[in-house]
Amino acid sequence: MTQMPAKIGFIGLGNMGRPMAANLARKGATLVVRDADAGRQEGFVREFAVADGSKANAFADVEVVVTMLPNGKIVRQALLDSGIADALPRGSLVIDTSSAEPLLTRQLAEELAHYHIGVVDAPVSGGTPKAIDGTLSIMLGADDEELAARAATVLSLMSARIFRTGALGTGHAMKALNNYVLGAGFVAAAEAYVVGEKFGLDPKLIVDVLNASSGRNVSTEAVFVSEVVTRRFRANFTFGLISKDVGIAAELADRLSIETPLLDQVHRALSDGGKELGMGADYSELVRIFERRADITHA
């Protein structure tokens, strides 16, 4: 593993970015941070005694920038429209940990190459709890092994496992495909759950049998147990986020001219759920939508 960079920039201090940046700070990294929410940025600067990245020239001696933002378009804006790319030194590296579009990531790399800035994609999996613990799984895509090694030095402070997925963009592709499989498993389990309810099966029994049988998946073992049967519906993953990721997978399949009827249906189900309840609603509430359509009521 290569030497830790003398200074790291971190852009995006939201639900995932804040605990990730906090792990870097606690483990001795010298940070410059920026967030679109000035209050959130100021709070982090005060709590961890790190540098304020409000002005682009704060990044003038940064060797590595980590981005954790909503999508690839915003990543591009944060780097190119803000003056940060102009301020970064030649030979610096951008590590995009966002859930972004693989093809946009490759376009960004082409643009940043004019500034002599390298790019790797390193989306994460594990949610906020693992971001807090520093035990995320990370999918690392890079066209250059030296860039991958530099990135891994930083990413190791926030992760339990780093998967080297291949060329630039493959990390983002793998993240989208993973979340498609997550979404498909949840939608299938939700449909089975509601059909069983309507037929008179006890909801808890449905989940217990699934989890002791071949139908179990991460959704039945975690989300259905803690959020659906309990009627809490707080899995901390919104319709907006999961439908975006599944949409990236669908767009990738379309670009590759691969027919994916199930992927398209899962994307539609999650997108429609977000339109009905709001993209900020928890995706586990898709069960409520299915129940309402089946005329199932709960006290």
pLDDT tens, residue by residue, 228-267: 999 999 999 999 999 999 999 999 999 999 999 999 999 9
pLDDT tens, residue by residue, 111-162: 999 999 999 999 999 999 999 999 999 999 999 999 999 999 999 999 999 9
Active site residue 275: no
Distance of CA 126 to the CA centre of its chain: 9
Longest Cα pair distance anywhere in the chain, in angstroms? 66
* Active-site residue, from 175, 204, 244, 275: 175
- pTM score, two decimals? 0.94
- Homologous superfamily of domain range 173-293: N-(1-d-carboxylethyl)-l-norvaline Dehydrogenase; domain 2 (1.10.1040.10)
Confidence of residue 2 (pLDDT cuts 50, 70, 90): confident
> How many residues are there in the chain?
299
Contacts of 108-117 spanning 24+ positions with Cβ under 8 A: 108/72, 108/75, 108/76, 108/79, 109/143, 109/168, 111/76, 111/80, 112/79, 112/80, 112/85, 115/85, 115/86, 115/88, 115/90, 116/90, 116/91, 117/85, 117/88, 117/90, 117/91, 117/92, 117/93
Q: Where are the domains of the chain?
A: 8-168, 173-293
What's the confidence (pLDDT) of residue 263? Answer: 99
- Range 256-280 average pLDDT: 98
pLDDT tens, residue by residue, 49-108: 999 999 999 999 999 999 999 999 999 999 999 999 999 999 999 999 999 999 999 999
Confidence of residue 279 (pLDDT cuts 50, 70, 90): very high
Q: What is the CATH number of domain 8-168?
A: 3.40.50.720
What's the confidence (pLDDT) of residue 1? Answer: 59
Residue 299 has pLDDT above 80, yes or no: no
